[in-house]
Amino acid sequence: MFTTIYPQLIGLCTGTLLLTSALMVWRHSLLASIRLLSVQGFALAALVAVIGVEEGEVEVILVAVLVLLVKGVALPWVLARETHATTRTDEAPRLNPTAALLTVALLTILSYVVASRLLAGIDGVSAHAAPIGLAMVLIGFLLLVTRRQAGSQLIGFLVLDNGIATVAFLTSGGVPLFLELGISLDVLLVVVILYVFAGRMRSKFGNTEIDQLRKLHD
């Protein structure tokens, strides 16, 4: 019974992942992006859980719980807390929403083209969904390039990280628990450090526009 709905569940989870990523490009409000990130974390956890049930491995389900805690709860909570604590400034991206969404579409097409070459030998439902991960990496990168505020950049970075995790889960059928634990804690640490850094920037310059950091060249 599960094997029949398995492809649909995978499709649902990866679809949610791609949708949230695209929405993040569209929305300019930082808080909305954080909420979307939280949804994305839940979707990723659900994806891992589905893979775990399909393969019948308890360890992968534990990984799913871990992903849920870190990417769905902890990271958005840290981000939201910091954002609430400070004066909120909305993002004025370097690319207008229409152009950005068009770019997202192009990047998704590109990742499907690339994946059709790279994953030509691998069969299976999860491998067919792998291009979504690649598309998320590219969308995350797009966010990094087009956003001005340090906080939004951080979200781009997290989308990129989620994309890498998605590709890893879909192609290899799960990551060992300890590895996932290490990676998750790493990302958490990076986010905390970057947030401290953003706080320093705010107290120094009054905002977090990284365009102002131009002195670092000879």
Enumerate binding residues for another protein (CB under 8 A): 94, 110-111, 113-114, 116-118, 138, 141-142, 144-145, 148, 210-211, 213-217
> Could you tell me the smallest distance in angstroms from the CB atom of residue 187 to another protein?
19
Q: Which residue number, 70 or 155, has a Cβ lying nearer to another protein?
A: 155
Q: Answer left, alpha or beta for residue 93, where phi above 0 means left and psi between -120 and 50 means alpha.
A: beta
Q: Which residue number, 73 or 101, has a Cβ lying nearer to another protein?
A: 101
> Could you tell me the smallest distance in angstroms from the CB atom of residue 194 to another protein?
13
Q: Which residue number, 110 or 177, has a Cβ lying nearer to another protein?
A: 110
Q: Contact at 8 Å (CB) between 43 and 17?
A: yes
Distance of alpha carbon 166 from alpha carbon 137, whole angstroms? 9
> Could you tell me the smallest distance in angstroms from the CB atom of residue 160 to another protein?
11
Q: Which residue number, 99 or 185, has a Cβ lying nearer to another protein?
A: 99
Distance of alpha carbon 150 from alpha carbon 172, whole angstroms? 33
Q: Which residue number, 46 or 128, has a Cβ lying nearer to another protein?
A: 128
> Could you tell me the smallest distance in angstroms from the CB atom of residue 95 to another protein?
11
Q: Contact at 8 Å (CB) between 63 and 177?
A: yes
> Could you tell me the smallest distance in angstroms from the CB atom of residue 57 to another protein?
32
Q: Which residue number, 86 or 116, has a Cβ lying nearer to another protein?
A: 116
> Could you tell me the smallest distance in angstroms from the CB atom of residue 86 to another protein?
21
